[in-house]
Chain A
Amino acid sequence: MTSRRRRIDPRTAQLAADFVLWAGTAVTLAVLVFIIGFVLRRGLPYVDWAFLTEAPRESGKAGGIFPMIVGTLEVTALAVLLATPLGLGTAIFLAEYTRGGPLMRVIHFGTESLAGVPSIIFGLFGFVFFVITLGFGWSVLSGGLTLAFMILPTVIRTSEEAIKAVPASYREVALSLGASKWESVVKVVLPSAIPGIVTGIILSVGRAMEETAVVIFTAGSSLSQAAPRSLFDGTRTLAVHVYLLAREGISTEKAFATASVLILAILVINSTAYTIMNRFIRRYR
């Protein structure tokens, strides 16, 4: 007898695949909800108006986190404002102005390597270069600059993919109707690529806000009573505050409360960005 491999009935295979995929999704979602729920359940009861608006007391055992909220927003905003134009410009150049030559490969290799560098290395670099060599000190400026370098690869790659996904015919049409190359990029390609670009920026905002290693080295961790007033003031971000509260055993409640605020802030920023974007692109559909 010739031995034929027994074939699995396609309907059985389909059922199995459905189950595995569904179960995978469910487990992922469950883990996510569990982690967020766990943090919020332990932290939210301690979050109140005073916690959000007051300065910390007794090394953070009492009082609030107002200076950290402001510091986090400043450092993140600076990083995103620096990385977005730089990253988007690089992405436009890569996607529209190079035709797969050696220059493009070098830049790709560079950005990919940059994306793989551990954040602690960025922190070390920022400390030596911005804090010491350029003399910016532990400051919002040093932190923002270093974070900008850290999120740059993400901005470049997501923007580049989004721009490349715009159908070539759009560019053809724009040119054929008398647009210059730049006009076709600005008026046709970028509006179509906006959703992908915004997604990249949102991912970057999240990464910048939750980063600790880079910020400890470059923005410092001093527990100041007031929010940073200038780019040269040091600050302690929310993520660093969580880390120090927990590690120094200062206050578990305050650590979870701060973590809750951080998570909610990221959620609010992300959903706001998506809402604005959807309103914007609906005009083009």
Chain B
Amino acid sequence: MTQALAAVDARPDRAPSSPPPARKPKLEIRALTVSYLGGPPVVRGVSLTVPSNSIYAFIGPAGSGKTSILRTVNLLSIDLDGARVEGDVRLDGMDLLAPGVDRARIRRKVPMVFATPQPLPRSIYENLAFGPRLAGVKDRARLDELVEKSLTAAQLWDEVKDRLRHSALTLSGGQQQRLCIARAIALEPEVVLLDEPCSGLDPISTLKIEEAMHSLQDRYTWVIVTNNTKQAARVSERTAFFLMGELVEDGPTDRLFTAPRDARTGDYIEGRFG
């Protein structure tokens, strides 16, 4: 009890007793089950709701199904990994798993940033323009504007504005990952999915990415998978804890970290696990 109160003191802006701010749901996942090639399900009946303009963290040990959920929202698991998916995933009420949906169009709304930075072997500018061009943006001035806006949003513009024509592969790892975030933002998405985006990065690059997420929260919704519970506590408003493909519990990050309802959550957060 005292611990919980201490947390309230530390974050006076958010009282755990008051209901969460009434924001409309952005991403709704209902009874989602994912399995690969006839194997046992790696995600079992997960239901959760990501409110719009929030930062939502998925935590849990390896093999808990976090990444599979992310890749299913982006529909990559279906197209590339041969996943079998049951349940419901809705973006602004639109059923993403319905047959006949335009998957490329959905991916533009929910782009993904991967754990290792994945710049394409072309210039910084062309990396940024890649998505918008596919979406049909041809106007040069509009592309220039998107590139600058996205790089600025990802806190990379000042570092690369004089060398947009250089290969993206010449950037450092931290810069490459911010490039990938900028590339996702250039699509003008609804939700950005981040799959352990900082796992290979130094603390300063990590900080810049977290700052970027915070500063862009009014424009996008973020879902971040992280193995770093401290990062989840730092950046997210809500956190979901997964174990063996099941959602153990989710809730406001403050509450989950200070007063977990499930003993396993507390054990994991405090590192008493496995």
Whole-angstrom distance between the Cβ of B229 and the nearest chain A Cβ: 26
Contact, CB under 8 Å: A192 / B121: yes
> Which B residues are in CB contact (< 8 Å) with A173?
114, 118, 120
Nearest opposing residue in chain A for B123, CB measure = A283
Contact, CB under 8 Å: A178 / B118: no
A180 at the interface (CB under 8 A from B): yes
Nearest opposing residue in chain B for A283, CB measure = B122
> Which B residues are in CB contact (< 8 Å) with A179?
104, 134
A112 at the interface (CB under 8 A from B): no
A18 at the interface (CB under 8 A from B): no
A188 at the interface (CB under 8 A from B): yes
Which of B118, B130, B134, B135 is A172 in contact with, Cβ under 8 Å? B118
B107 at the interface (CB under 8 A from A): yes
Whole-angstrom distance between the Cβ of A52 and the nearest chain B Cβ: 42
Q: Which of B74, B122, B167 has the most CB of A within 10 A?
A: B122
Contact, CB under 8 Å: A285 / B167: yes
Given A180-B104, A285-B167, is A175 in contact with B120 using a C-beta cutoff of 8 Å?
A: no
Given A284-B121, A285-B121, is A176 in contact with B167 using a C-beta cutoff of 8 Å?
A: no
Given A178-B135, A188-B120, is A172 in contact with B114 using a C-beta cutoff of 8 Å?
A: yes
Q: What is the bound-complex CA distance between A227 and B107, given in angstroms?
A: 57
Contact, CB under 8 Å: A175 / B187: no
Whole-angstrom distance between the Cβ of A223 and the nearest chain B Cβ: 51
Contact, CB under 8 Å: A176 / B104: no
Which of A176, A188, A285 is B107 in contact with, Cβ under 8 Å? A176
B44 at the interface (CB under 8 A from A): no
B238 at the interface (CB under 8 A from A): no
Given A171-B80, A179-B134, is A285 in contact with B114 using a C-beta cutoff of 8 Å?
A: no
Q: How many A-B residue pairs have CB under 8 A?
A: 63
A169 at the interface (CB under 8 A from B): yes
Q: What is the bound-complex CA distance between A284 and B131, given in angstroms?
A: 17
Whole-angstrom distance between the Cβ of A158 and the nearest chain B Cβ: 20
Q: What is the bound-complex CA distance between A268 and B184, given in angstroms?
A: 45
Q: What is the bound-complex CA distance between A152 and B167, given in angstroms?
A: 35
Interface residues on B, range: 20 to 34
Whole-angstrom distance between the Cβ of B235 and the nearest chain A Cβ: 21
Contact, CB under 8 Å: B79 / A169: no
> Which A residues are in CB contact (< 8 Å) with B105?
178
Which of B79, B116, B183 is A177 in contact with, Cβ under 8 Å? B183
> Which A residues are in CB contact (< 8 Å) with B135?
178
Q: State which residues 75-108 of B face A: CB under 8 Å.
A: 76, 79-80, 82, 104-105, 107-108
Interface residues on A, range: 20 to 34
Interface string of B104-144 (1 = CB under 8 A from A): 11011001101010101110000000110011000000000
Which of B120, B131, B167 is A178 in contact with, Cβ under 8 Å? B131
Contact, CB under 8 Å: A177 / B131: yes
> Which B residues are in CB contact (< 8 Å) with A183?
104, 134
> Which B residues are in CB contact (< 8 Å) with A283?
122
A170 at the interface (CB under 8 A from B): yes
Given A171-B80, A183-B134, is A177 in contact with B187 using a C-beta cutoff of 8 Å?
A: yes
Contact, CB under 8 Å: A177 / B118: no
> Which B residues are in CB contact (< 8 Å) with A178?
104-105, 107-108, 111, 131, 134-135, 187
> Which B residues are in CB contact (< 8 Å) with A285?
121, 167, 169
Q: What is the bound-complex CA distance between A273 and B36, given in angstroms?
A: 44
Which of B118, B131, B183 is A169 in contact with, Cβ under 8 Å? B118
Nearest opposing residue in chain A for B82, CB measure = A99
Q: What is the bound-complex CA distance between A82 and B132, given in angstroms?
A: 35
Contact, CB under 8 Å: A177 / B121: no
Q: State which residues 141-161 of B face A: CB under 8 Å.
A: none
Interface string of A187-213 (1 = CB under 8 A from B): 110001000000000000000000000
Q: Which of A171, A172, A173 has the most CB of B within 10 A?
A: A173
A-B contact pairs, 14 of them (CB 8 A): A99-B82, A169-B118, A172-B114, A173-B114, A175-B104, A175-B107, A177-B111, A177-B134, A178-B131, A179-B134, A180-B104, A187-B130, A188-B120, A283-B122
Instruction: Taking A175-B104, A176-B112, A177-B184 as given, write out 13 further A-B residue pairs in contact, using a Cβ cutoff of 8 Å, ordered by the A residue number.
Output: A169-B116, A172-B118, A173-B118, A175-B76, A176-B107, A176-B114, A177-B111, A177-B131, A178-B108, A178-B134, A180-B104, A183-B104, A183-B134
